[in-house]
Amino acid sequence: MTRKLPVPQHLLSALMLASCMGSANAASTAADTKPASSAAAQPKLILVLVVDGLPQEQVVRYRDQFGQGGLRRLLDQGAWFSNAHQAHGITVTAIGHAAVLSGAYPYQHGVIGNNWIDPVTHEQIYCTEDSKYNYIGEETKAHDGTAPTKLRVDTLGDQLRYASGNRAKVVAVSGKDRGAILLGGKTGTAYMYMDKTGNFASSNYYMQSHPEWVQRYQAGKPQDRYYGKTWRPLLADAAYAGDASEELTQAKPGVATRFPFSYYSDSGQLDADYYGRLKGSPFLDELTLDFARAAVAGENLGNNPAGVPDLLGVSLSAHDYVNHAFGPESKMSHDHLQRLDRMLASFFGYLDQRVGMDNVVVVLTADHGFPNTPEFSQTQHIDSQRVDGEQMVAALNTHLDGKFKAGKLVGSWSLPNLHLDQAALEKAGLKREEVENAAASFLLDSKGIAQVYTRSQLESNGAGETRMGMLMRRAWHRQISGDLMVVTKPYWYFGTGGSGTSHGSPYAYDTNVPLIIMGKQWIKPGAYGQYAEVVDIAPTLAHLLRVRPPAAAEGRVLTETLR
């Protein structure tokens, strides 16, 4: 599938390349006699930061309040792309994380959602589940994320390991299993937060027992230090004056919906209730970065005795939980990002001492953005509501039965994918395309639905030449995606309830994410307005590391940023 990028820039690049070929060829003989390139040495450490659920607009909106050493350091000393996108149509955590270091779109990498329907068993599948593997020293339940076996492509870390004869170390850590596993690739090592114990643990896909540094870290029980602690706003009240009114955050039974937030358990003990509550707090990210420090020290990352670069992937999960609960317009989301900024400053300070930041290339991006809550959007005179998926599918099945007299024809669904019951179609002698078209026609007349793409359209590349059509084609995998893909109207989303928000659409608020690259010896700082995609990260880092790009990578090298 060809990536479509803004034409003028790439035509210009092609013309420049053509005009330079003659002089380059003429100089090649002389160049061959010169010493090896004087270009900067390879980085000692690649640090890839993925802030789960961080829309680009929040980085811009709150920039003036950042401290000096975290996000501001990245913005001032790095190359920042304002028009960067997760350029596929289903913008969720697993798909976004899979894109970062594979450089591939879902139609190739095979991670089409956090969950999807198995086309053979018709059961729900979780993106990183594999029943052959278990967590080390932790309870493992059905569908827990333990391995990258459903990722159908390799990643930058895998190529780095290959090029170095497996001497390079690739470590990924996250508050979510899918965040760590999909950054770690096939041959790296993933550690994820265990919400029953508060530990970070790996699985026996990667090793049979934890290394000594992990055991030492777990023994210290750092997760227990937050019991009874309270999350209060970091800044003065005036700093939050532009945020949405807290009254828009409607109360949910048993859940605190405004500051302050305290972390404890109903039992009064350090138990799963308490460790689970930490996930929606800044303390989860603090723990994640603490564990990342332990990994840097324990694995000697950035000081590899073999003299090869290492890669550390850190996925920071709490911002996603906060935005789901309160929306990116909320005081809670605003404050969380300010706290995360200070955490990153502290982590960069640690790396300065341990590795030297002049030896590190840092990339910061996000797996997806976020829309505002419908309640807030409505105050801005924007049409915005939630679409109850269960009700929508039930109404569709009723309509199709009335039309074809063949019973329930939508057999299973995991939105935005709907799967027709092929056995029911065959029994009734119905053509799939006819049923697809009837279903699409009905859904397009349904409340909150903007577009429907059918398998027949997608198989024949007939989804149209719009950007939405391109993004949805990229998100559709021929073997495992549905027979219909449904897109809501802007600012609508699939969900129920009376509070919070969610993501997953092809609209800019969900696709436009930060893309910042910082590396003193390799990257030219500046604000770049060129179009860029998250899939450009892997080819760009491969260029800097002088390794092959991942096999399915379709991004470009961000040459405009290179020294």
Digit-coded pLDDT (tens) for 138-166:
999 999 999 999 999 999 999 999 999 99
- Residues 62, 278: Cα–Cα separation, whole Å: 24
pLDDT of residue 554: 98
pLDDT of residue 253: 53
Query: 107-126: per-residue pLDDT in tens?
Result: 999 999 999 999 888 899 99
Cα 368 to Cα 283, 323, 474, 533: the distances in Å are 21, 12, 15, 12
Q: How far is CA 22 from the centre of its chain?
A: 43
> What is the pLDDT averaged over residues 516-538?
98
Contacts of 379 (CB under 8 A, 6+ apart): 248
Q: Where are the domains of the chain?
A: 45-97+128-373+507-532+545-561, 386-494
Q: Has residue 127 got a pLDDT over 60?
A: yes
Structure tokens at 282: 């800044």
Q: Has residue 23 got a pLDDT over 60?
A: no
How many other CB atoms are there within 10 angstroms of residue 221's CB atom? 12
Query: 211-227: per-residue pLDDT in tens?
Result: 999 999 999 999 999 99
> What is the pLDDT averaged over residues 482-503?
96
Average pLDDT, the chain: 92
From 3.90.550.10, 3.20.20.70, 3.40.640.10, 3.30.1360.150, which CATH number describes the 386-494 domain? 3.30.1360.150
DSSP secondary structure letters along 64-113: GG--SSSHHHHHHHSEEEEEEE--SSS--HHHHHHHHHH---HHHH---S
Query: 320-357: per-residue pLDDT in tens?
Result: 999 999 999 999 999 999 999 999 999 999 999 999 99
> What is the pLDDT averaged over residues 63-82?
97
Q: Has residue 11 got a pLDDT over 90?
A: no
> What is the pLDDT averaged over residues 186-199?
98
pLDDT of residue 389: 97
Residue 472's nearest CA partner among 459, 453, 457, 489 is 453
Q: Is 228 left (phi over 0), alpha (psi -120 to 50) or beta?
A: left
> What is the pLDDT averaged over residues 427-446?
97
Beta bridge partners of 527: 80
pLDDT of residue 2: 47
User: Can you give the pTM of this predicted structure?
Assistant: 0.92
pLDDT of residue 497: 87
The share of the chain scoring above pLDDT 90, in percent, equals 88
User: According to DSSP H, which parts of 220-317 are helical?
Assistant: 272-277, 282-299
Topology annotation, domain 45-97+128-373+507-532+545-561: Alkaline Phosphatase, subunit A (3.40.720)
pLDDT of residue 28: 40
> What is the pLDDT averaged over residues 243-263?
77
Asked, colleague to colleague, whether 45-97+128-373+507-532+545-561 and 386-494 share their fold, the answer is no
pLDDT class of 36 with cuts at 50, 70, 90: very low
Q: Has residue 57 got a pLDDT over 90?
A: yes
Q: Has residue 405 got a pLDDT over 60?
A: yes
- Residues 258, 355: Cα–Cα separation, whole Å: 40
Backbone φ, ψ for residue 278 (5° rounding): -60, -25
Are the beta carbons of 562 and 39 closer than 8 angstroms? no
> What is the pLDDT averaged over residues 498-509?
96
- Residues 390, 534: Cα–Cα separation, whole Å: 32
Query: 267-301: per-residue pLDDT in tens?
Result: 999 999 999 999 999 999 999 999 999 999 999 99
